[in-house]
Amino acid sequence: MICYSDTFPTPFGQFSVAVNDQGAVVATAFGGESKLLSRLKTCHVIRDTVRTADARAQLSEYFAGKRREFDLSLAPQGTAFQQKVWRALQRIPRGRTTTYGALAAKIGLPRAARAVGRANATNPICVIVPCHRVIGADGSLTGFAFGEKLKRRLLEHEASLRARAV
């Protein structure tokens, strides 16, 4: 499969996005193309700023505080269970957090908090599928592929967007 990518600057550092032939986002990553490639298992990646323009525009608006919701087609590759968890992640309201246990209960598997945590960790589309909104039961900022500091900054960013919307 061929994927098309772009890397661009944001207030949070370099950010990369990849889309498929239909323009659906298949992966995102903080950092350059090497970070993105580690999240893409079955793609041959070609840089293409035209095919990625919509995703780049919406992500840039989000990082600039001008967008609260995304309107992009998504095509993450994963198991049926992972897909279920990733859909549940998209229902966590901006500016809010939940725990792995609460997310497991939400999908009807209250004893699957660890499995939910693993699916969360393998989410290939960070930010758009907001895995950063999941925290430990004790309130700790655990389990973000790009580090706790960045997770905290994203949550603070979304809290400020939420406050401005009220």
- Active site residues per annotation: 131
CA dist 7 → 17, 42, 45 (Å):
7, 19, 12
Q: What span, in angstroms and rounded, lies between the C-alpha atoms of 158 and 78?
A: 27
Q: What span, in angstroms and rounded, lies between the C-alpha atoms of 6 and 31?
A: 11
3-class secondary structure, 8:
strand
What is the sign, positive or negative, of the torsion defined by CA atoms of 34, 40, 45, 47? negative
Closest CA to 133 of 82, 106, 102, 99: 99
